[in-house]
Amino acid sequence: MKTVLEHRIEEGTIIIEISGKLQYNQSESVKGKLIDFIQEGKFNYIFDLSNLENIDSTGMGLFITFMNHIENKESKIYLVIKDEFIKELFEIAKLDQLFVIDTSVENVMGKLVKKENGNI
């Protein structure tokens, strides 16, 4: 199965849905597409990995590459991960210390709205 990327912008947040497999053999093409999603200005980014079936270390490294390309350091990156095994891989790699991991886009959007309103 190949990697499918879709994105949309909601309330100053860019939501990038990644489904399929995120592995070494797709990393270069995916990296280019991800970098194209970066916008100037203060945007937050949510990677919805709910439909991700498999990921390897190269795939996880793409998120670090993405983070390093964002010029506005106030922008935050959130990962939506429902699969416990994939979540555990991110935790083992200590990537949960770089990115906020949650279980749904709705949860993240709710937190962002509260944060913007000064409730967090």
What residues have CB less than 8 Å from 2, skipping those under 6 apart?
20, 21, 26
Tokens 């200590």 belong to 94
26-61 residue pLDDT tens: 888 899 899 988 887 778 999 999 999 999 999 999
Q: What is the number of structural domains in the chain?
A: 1
- Quote the pLDDT of residue 92: 96
H helical segments located in 16-104: 27-36, 57-69, 84-92
Question: What per-residue confidence (pLDDT) applies to 114?
Answer: 78
Q: Taking residues 92-96, report their average pLDDT.
A: 96
pLDDT averaged over every residue in the chain: 91
Q: Looking at this protein, which amino acid is placed at residue 113?
A: V
- The CATH number for 103's domain is 3.30.750.24
120 pLDDT more than 60: no
Owning domain of residue 106: 4-116
